[in-house]
Amino acid sequence: MATSILSIGQSALAAAQVGISVTGHNIANAATPGYSRQEVIQSAALAQDFGFGYIGQGTIVSNIRRVYSDLLAQQLNTAQSSSSATSTYATYMGQIDNMLADPTTGLAPSIQKFFSSIQALSSNPGDAATRQAVLSSANSLVGRFQSLGDQLNEIREGFNQELATSTQLVTTYASKIAQLNDTISKAVGANKDNLPNDLLDQRDHLVAEMSKLVKTTVNPQDDGSYNLFIGNGLPLVVGNKSFGLTTVRSTKDTGRVEVAYVSNMVKPLADSMLAGGTIGGLLQFRAGALDSIQNQLGQIATVLTQTFNTQHNAGYDANGNIGSNFFNVPTPDIYGDSANSVGASLNVNITNTSALTSSDYQLKYDGTNYIVTRLSDNSSQSFASLPQTLDGLTFNGTMAAGDSFLIEPTRNAASKLSVALSDINKIAAADATGGNGNNRNALLLAGLQSQGTLNNSSATYENAFAQLVSFVGNKTNELRVNSAAEETLLAQATAAQQSESGVNLDEEATNLLRYQQAYQAAGKLMQVASSLFDLLLTIGH
């Protein structure tokens, strides 16, 4: 009996030691990202029948359990993915909002100053200083357009860099998860009852980090591994095999970066395939805001300068010569598909600024018809031949069946704008009676400021810019509200997950004291058992 008591004491001592070790492990990792607290699972050792009844034989540590909820973890990952997407979108929109809405550095003051100088010219067309002021304000206006366009291009470059970094991280995480899958499945295969808790935490932490970058779905497998899908069902990790993401230049637009899926080949993905996370937010920002904003700014720049040129060309300068172009107006950007036939070419000219939209276009030839698609609403028109005119654009060129072109009529217009005149005497303020005192064309030029020149004659230059600023401001506010709501949901999901799996140092301190007392009691029990055994030996002598 004494040896039985000693054995019971030893089991209690061993269980207390394990408890202290596990508690210490929890305390040590309280601040470790992704760590889930662990707890000792004990059970009674098999009792022994002594004839008069069964006497317990102490305790055994049956398992070290990781306190973890798949449901709470998935809810947290989903909340993280949504929050990251909205936050990313909101951050980029905030940059544009600050840039466009500034009352001193925005575009509106420069437009007003330019037309004020034209008004002054109409009052004193022969004055050299007034003419010089027109050129100075014109250069200031162009400089403002260029600055805004360049800043949008810088935002686009920052976008491209963040997209590249994010896709690289996804690939890195996928590789690490696949490696952990392999290690975990081997450990589970060796002993399905005892799981490698710390390895599981490492893998789940990587999944959580992945969810910050893109929407992530986990399918646990019987062997302990994860199959991981991102976006709208794209397989990224299958067992110990991983795939990846990268960025590539578009075959349709060499200035555009696309996300591509890397398996046995590199395949560009539609933006709709990658929802959620930083990547999803970035793609939403480009498709829903950046492209449109840059196009609208370019539309205002194109229409303002081209309509001004048209009226300026109708006047006469101080030397009695017919007016020339006041501004250099950029032509539409055209990108041929990399698979186009040799010799395929396309020319696109802006022939009606009032009908010009802020959309991009795609032109395809199927061997019979030329199909022009307005990409802002995906509406298409078919033509049997070229040239053809649509939305103020005239298309003409040579194409073979299967050829296609992407047309961006206004995307980079603001950045490429410039003033064509440098000689104040070439400002065409007069009409055909001519002379330095003639201001009739200057009055017509000044009148352009209040005319409906954009969007089918429905908006002035300043109206169009105000509408753009309003769109940006409203969208930014909407995203800020949504981002705040998503952050609240994320905080709630985090709190719920941490209440289940997080380490509470007060609780662990209590456990440490409890196991310490159990250890001391087990030691006392073994001391008693030893004394009894010694007594039995004495009696035997």
pLDDT in tens, 408-417: 999 999 999 9
List, edge to edge, every strand of the sheet that includes 234-238. Answer: 216-220, 226-230, 234-238, 241-242
- Predicted confidence pLDDT, tens digits, the chain (541 residues): 555 888 898 999 999 999 999 999 999 999 999 999 999 999 998 888 888 888 889 999 999 999 999 999 999 999 999 999 999 999 999 999 999 988 777 799 999 999 999 999 999 999 999 999 999 999 999 999 999 999 999 999 999 999 999 999 999 999 999 999 999 999 988 777 789 999 999 999 999 999 999 999 999 999 999 999 998 889 999 999 999 999 999 888 877 899 999 998 999 999 999 999 999 999 999 999 999 999 999 999 999 999 999 999 999 999 999 999 999 999 999 999 989 999 999 999 999 999 999 999 999 999 999 999 999 999 999 999 999 999 999 999 999 999 999 999 999 999 999 999 999 999 999 998 877 778 999 999 999 999 999 988 899 999 999 999 999 999 999 999 999 999 999 999 999 999 999 999 999 999 999 999 998 998 888 888 878 777 777 776 5
DSSP for residue 288: I
Cβ-based neighbours of 350, under 8 Å, separated by 6 or more: 302, 306, 329, 331, 332, 356, 392, 393, 409
Q: What is the pLDDT of residue 3?
A: 55
Helix H or strand E encompassing 244: strand 244-249
User: Model confidence over 213-253: pLDDT tens digits?
Assistant: 999 999 999 999 999 999 888 999 999 999 999 999 988 88
In 287-375, which ranges are continuous DSSP H helix? 291-313
Check: CB of residue 240 under 8 Å from CB of residue 179: yes
User: Model confidence over 40-88: pLDDT tens digits?
Assistant: 999 998 888 888 888 889 999 999 999 999 999 999 999 999 999 999 9
User: Model confidence over 480-500: pLDDT tens digits?
Assistant: 999 999 999 999 999 999 999
402 torsion bin: left (phi>0), alpha (psi -120 to 50), beta (else) = left
Classify the C-alpha dihedral 137-142-148-154 as positive or negative. negative
